[in-house]
A = this chain, B = another copy of it.
Amino acid sequence: MKKKLPTELSGIKEIARRANVSIATVDRVIHKRTGVSLKTRDKINKIISDLDYQPNLLARRLASRKTIRIATLIPKIGGESSFWEAPLRGIEQAESELRQMGIIIEKFFFDQEDSETFIKQSRLLLRHEPDGILIAPSFVDEAIEFTTTCKERHIPFVYINSDIPEQKSLCYIGPDLYRSGYLAGNLISYLVNDNQEILITNVTKELEDRHHLVRKEEGLRAYFADHKRNNVIRTIDVLQFDADSIESALSLQLNENKNIGVVFVTNSRVASVANYLKSFNHDVLLVGYDFLKENIEYLNEGVIDFLICQKPVEQAYRGVMSLYQHLVLSTTVEDIYLMPIDIITKENYAYYRN
């Protein structure tokens, strides 16, 4: 380590010296506050760009007496899918990194099967008057209403995991659902020959948002159409998560259509399907979504062949960080950040970072 050279005054002080004003005045123009004549403002701005001045963020956060507060609203964990554990981890990681910066995060949760809880929690959240909001808009209509009032109050918000394009505020961070289905098509096209069939399986309750699954299905079908592969592609919906419902729905299909080569499950509920295929010893390839513990187990056993995953931890982490960048650094952030579409197999899952 080396002593810093007695470098010619950097920062705001040097600007002040060159402009023959006090640092307070420089501070005013930097923060676009009033109380500076046009002439000196211009002079100072010129010096700032001449010097390519970059404010020292350390000093800035240190001196600022503000605490900025970010609120998050995502589904609560528990229930039949552990998917939202990962985004929660991402939020907590961002939290621990930002605490130093004087930023606190307040977390709110709703029940994915009950839109009322979404409304309640979003109201509660607003009462805390956060400076920025991270939100997973599982219920489209309710989310639109909520973000409308956010806009009125000029509170920036970011969507994660699924987008509502018309409502965009700061940014969207999450998967490109259509492309991820398209990729699945790409992958599956290597796995089937021309006379094998593909079974698309949507495992979802009726009241959940089906938009997700539909987009993925469209993507897959588009891939086969675009590449002139004429395999039969069937779709079934399974509306309950219990083993019996899954068994009856799938066995019907698999027994009637003996040349189904690949089953594609459009969400993270693929473990239930794997459970069925395993116990009935069906020899088909299985492709699904998301790096969940239960899915990984079946991947490891060879029942699931491929999982497609889109870094749920990072989605939330980046979401919070985008708010930070916007609120603290006032950097412009990309208004849409699409996550990579990762392919996970038995042989690389151990190295995957969510």
Contacts and interface: CB of A to CB of B under 8 A. Distances in A.
Interface of A: 1-4, 54, 56-59, 61-62, 65-69, 100-102, 131, 176, 179, 182-183, 185-187, 190-191, 223, 305, 338-343, 345-348, 350-353
Contact of A57 (B59, B100, B342): B100
A69 B3 CA distance: 11
A162 to B, nearest CB: 16
5 contacts: A58-B62, A179-B351, A187-B345, A340-B352, A343-B343
A325 to B, nearest CB: 12
Contacts of A2: 66-67, 69
Q: So how many copies of this chain end up in the complex?
A: 2
A67 B4 contact: yes
Contact of A4 (B59, B65, B342): B65
A348 B353 contact: no
Contact of A183 (B58, B185, B341, B345): B345
Contacts of A62: 56, 58-59, 62
Contacts of A101: 58
Nearest to A346: B186
A219 to B, nearest CB: 9
